Amino acid sequence: MSRSVKRVTLCAVFTAFSTVFIYISAVFPTGQLALSAVAGLFVIAAVCEYGARAGILVYVCSGILSFIVVPDISAVWIYIAFFGIYPLVKLIAERVKSRVAGFLLKICFFNLSLSLLLFLFSVTVFDMTILGNSYFVLFPFATVVFIVFDVGLNQVIAFYLNRISNKIRKN
Protein backbone atom coordinates (compact mmCIF):
# COMPACT_ATOMS: atom_id res chain seq x y z
CA MET A 1 0.00 0.00 0.00
CA SER A 2 1.39 3.41 -0.93
CA ARG A 3 2.05 6.05 1.70
CA SER A 4 -0.64 8.43 0.46
CA VAL A 5 -3.28 5.69 0.42
CA LYS A 6 -2.29 4.64 3.93
CA ARG A 7 -2.43 8.25 5.13
CA VAL A 8 -5.87 8.88 3.65
CA THR A 9 -7.18 5.58 4.99
CA LEU A 10 -5.86 6.15 8.49
CA CYS A 11 -7.20 9.72 8.57
CA ALA A 12 -10.59 8.42 7.43
CA VAL A 13 -10.54 5.83 10.23
CA PHE A 14 -9.59 8.53 12.76
CA THR A 15 -12.43 10.71 11.44
CA ALA A 16 -14.91 7.85 11.71
CA PHE A 17 -13.89 6.98 15.27
CA SER A 18 -13.99 10.62 16.29
CA THR A 19 -17.49 11.00 14.83
CA VAL A 20 -18.67 7.81 16.55
CA PHE A 21 -17.46 9.06 19.93
CA ILE A 22 -19.17 12.41 19.40
CA TYR A 23 -22.37 10.54 18.55
CA ILE A 24 -22.03 8.38 21.67
CA SER A 25 -21.48 11.52 23.75
CA ALA A 26 -24.81 12.82 22.47
CA VAL A 27 -26.57 9.56 23.34
CA PHE A 28 -25.04 9.35 26.84
CA PRO A 29 -24.98 12.97 28.07
CA THR A 30 -23.56 12.07 31.50
CA GLY A 31 -20.28 11.19 29.80
CA GLN A 32 -20.41 13.99 27.26
CA LEU A 33 -17.17 15.71 28.26
CA ALA A 34 -15.18 12.51 28.63
CA LEU A 35 -16.43 11.07 25.34
CA SER A 36 -15.78 14.35 23.54
CA ALA A 37 -12.24 14.28 24.94
CA VAL A 38 -11.81 10.75 23.57
CA ALA A 39 -13.03 12.00 20.19
CA GLY A 40 -10.29 14.63 20.31
CA LEU A 41 -7.67 11.92 20.84
CA PHE A 42 -8.10 10.88 17.23
CA VAL A 43 -7.09 14.37 16.12
CA ILE A 44 -3.98 13.95 18.28
CA ALA A 45 -3.29 10.59 16.64
CA ALA A 46 -3.53 12.17 13.18
CA VAL A 47 -1.17 14.96 14.21
CA CYS A 48 1.33 12.47 15.66
CA GLU A 49 1.25 10.26 12.58
CA TYR A 50 1.08 12.75 9.70
CA GLY A 51 1.36 16.29 11.06
CA ALA A 52 -0.86 19.30 11.58
CA ARG A 53 -2.56 19.18 8.17
CA ALA A 54 -3.80 15.65 8.82
CA GLY A 55 -5.06 16.77 12.24
CA ILE A 56 -6.91 19.68 10.68
CA LEU A 57 -8.43 17.31 8.12
CA VAL A 58 -9.66 14.90 10.81
CA TYR A 59 -10.99 17.80 12.91
CA VAL A 60 -12.88 19.47 10.05
CA CYS A 61 -14.28 16.26 8.57
CA SER A 62 -15.41 14.86 11.91
CA GLY A 63 -16.98 18.22 12.77
CA ILE A 64 -18.91 18.33 9.50
CA LEU A 65 -19.99 14.69 9.80
CA SER A 66 -21.08 15.30 13.38
CA PHE A 67 -23.29 18.21 12.37
CA ILE A 68 -24.96 15.84 9.90
CA VAL A 69 -25.40 12.69 12.03
CA VAL A 70 -25.31 13.68 15.72
CA PRO A 71 -28.76 14.40 17.18
CA ASP A 72 -27.59 16.66 20.05
CA ILE A 73 -25.95 19.84 18.79
CA SER A 74 -24.40 20.60 22.18
CA ALA A 75 -22.18 17.51 21.86
CA VAL A 76 -20.95 18.77 18.50
CA TRP A 77 -20.29 22.25 19.88
CA ILE A 78 -18.21 20.88 22.75
CA TYR A 79 -16.08 18.99 20.24
CA ILE A 80 -15.77 21.82 17.74
CA ALA A 81 -15.17 24.62 20.24
CA PHE A 82 -12.66 22.79 22.40
CA PHE A 83 -11.84 19.08 22.30
CA GLY A 84 -11.40 18.80 18.55
CA ILE A 85 -9.37 21.95 17.98
CA TYR A 86 -7.35 21.87 21.20
CA PRO A 87 -4.79 19.32 19.95
CA LEU A 88 -3.90 21.74 17.16
CA VAL A 89 -3.73 24.70 19.55
CA LYS A 90 -1.58 22.59 21.88
CA LEU A 91 0.78 21.82 19.01
CA ILE A 92 1.19 25.52 18.25
CA ALA A 93 1.50 26.53 21.91
CA GLU A 94 4.19 23.96 22.62
CA ARG A 95 6.26 25.16 19.67
CA VAL A 96 6.48 28.62 21.24
CA LYS A 97 10.01 29.10 22.59
CA SER A 98 8.87 30.50 25.91
CA ARG A 99 7.12 27.86 28.01
CA VAL A 100 5.30 30.58 29.93
CA ALA A 101 3.96 32.16 26.74
CA GLY A 102 2.86 28.74 25.44
CA PHE A 103 1.13 28.01 28.75
CA LEU A 104 -0.63 31.38 28.71
CA LEU A 105 -1.71 30.78 25.11
CA LYS A 106 -3.33 27.49 26.13
CA ILE A 107 -5.06 29.11 29.14
CA CYS A 108 -6.36 31.98 26.98
CA PHE A 109 -7.63 29.55 24.36
CA PHE A 110 -9.42 27.50 27.00
CA ASN A 111 -11.12 30.54 28.51
CA LEU A 112 -12.18 31.76 25.06
CA SER A 113 -13.57 28.32 24.26
CA LEU A 114 -15.42 28.19 27.57
CA SER A 115 -16.87 31.66 26.92
CA LEU A 116 -17.95 30.62 23.42
CA LEU A 117 -19.60 27.44 24.71
CA LEU A 118 -21.43 29.31 27.46
CA PHE A 119 -22.67 31.83 24.91
CA LEU A 120 -23.82 29.10 22.49
CA PHE A 121 -25.55 27.20 25.26
CA SER A 122 -27.25 30.36 26.55
CA VAL A 123 -28.58 31.20 23.10
CA THR A 124 -29.97 27.77 22.28
CA VAL A 125 -29.91 25.20 25.05
CA PHE A 126 -30.69 26.72 28.43
CA ASP A 127 -31.08 29.93 30.37
CA MET A 128 -27.73 31.04 31.80
CA THR A 129 -29.28 33.35 34.40
CA ILE A 130 -29.32 30.30 36.66
CA LEU A 131 -25.55 30.73 37.06
CA GLY A 132 -25.92 34.28 38.33
CA ASN A 133 -22.58 35.52 39.68
CA SER A 134 -21.04 32.05 39.72
CA TYR A 135 -18.94 32.94 36.68
CA PHE A 136 -16.39 34.21 39.18
CA VAL A 137 -16.11 30.68 40.53
CA LEU A 138 -16.68 28.80 37.26
CA PHE A 139 -13.77 30.22 35.27
CA PRO A 140 -11.01 29.74 37.88
CA PHE A 141 -12.26 26.26 38.78
CA ALA A 142 -12.59 25.25 35.13
CA THR A 143 -9.10 26.61 34.43
CA VAL A 144 -7.63 24.41 37.17
CA VAL A 145 -9.46 21.41 35.72
CA PHE A 146 -8.12 22.34 32.29
CA ILE A 147 -4.54 22.41 33.59
CA VAL A 148 -5.01 18.92 35.03
CA PHE A 149 -6.49 17.84 31.67
CA ASP A 150 -3.50 19.27 29.80
CA VAL A 151 -1.00 17.46 32.03
CA GLY A 152 -2.94 14.21 31.60
CA LEU A 153 -3.09 14.78 27.86
CA ASN A 154 0.70 15.02 27.79
CA GLN A 155 0.82 11.58 29.39
CA VAL A 156 -1.65 10.17 26.86
CA ILE A 157 0.39 11.59 23.97
CA ALA A 158 3.59 10.08 25.40
CA PHE A 159 1.83 6.72 25.75
CA TYR A 160 0.59 6.93 22.17
CA LEU A 161 4.01 7.81 20.80
CA ASN A 162 5.80 5.10 22.81
CA ARG A 163 3.34 2.22 22.47
CA ILE A 164 0.82 2.68 19.66
CA SER A 165 2.47 4.83 17.01
CA ASN A 166 5.30 2.36 16.44
CA LYS A 167 2.81 -0.40 15.67
CA ILE A 168 0.90 1.77 13.22
CA ARG A 169 4.08 2.83 11.44
CA LYS A 170 5.38 -0.73 11.27
CA ASN A 171 2.39 -1.89 9.23
pLDDT value, residue 137 = 86
What average pLDDT does range 32-46 have in this prediction? 96
Is residue 171 pLDDT above 70, yes or no?
Answer: no
Is residue 126 pLDDT above 90, yes or no?
Answer: no
Is residue 114 pLDDT above 90, yes or no?
Answer: yes
> Nearest-5° angle of CA 154, CA 138, CA 104?
45
Q: Which of the pair, 136 or 65, is modelled with greater confidence?
A: 65
Is residue 104 pLDDT above 70, yes or no?
Answer: yes
- Give the CATH fold of the 3-170 domain: Arp2/3 complex 21 kDa subunit ARPC3 (1.10.1760)
What average pLDDT does range 4-8 have in this prediction? 91
H-only helix segments in the chain: 3-27, 32-50, 52-69, 73-78, 86-95, 99-124, 135-159, 165-170
Is residue 127 pLDDT above 80, yes or no?
Answer: no
pLDDT value, residue 151 = 97
Instruction: Please say whether the beta carbons of 55 and 96 come within 8 A.
Output: no
Instruction: Please say whether the beta carbons of 58 and 104 come within 8 A.
Output: no
pLDDT value, residue 169 = 76
pLDDT value, residue 50 = 94
Distance CA 43, CA 66 (A): 14
Annotated domain spans of the chain:
3-170
Is residue 41 pLDDT above 90, yes or no?
Answer: yes
Summarize pLDDT for 48-72 with one digit per residue, the tens: 999 999 999 999 999 999 999 999 8
pLDDT value, residue 144 = 97
Q: How does 84-122 read in b/e, with b if 16+ C-beta sit within 10 Å?
A: bbbbbbbbebeeeeeeeebeebbeebbeebbeebeebee
- CB atoms under 10 Å from CB of 60, counted, come to 15
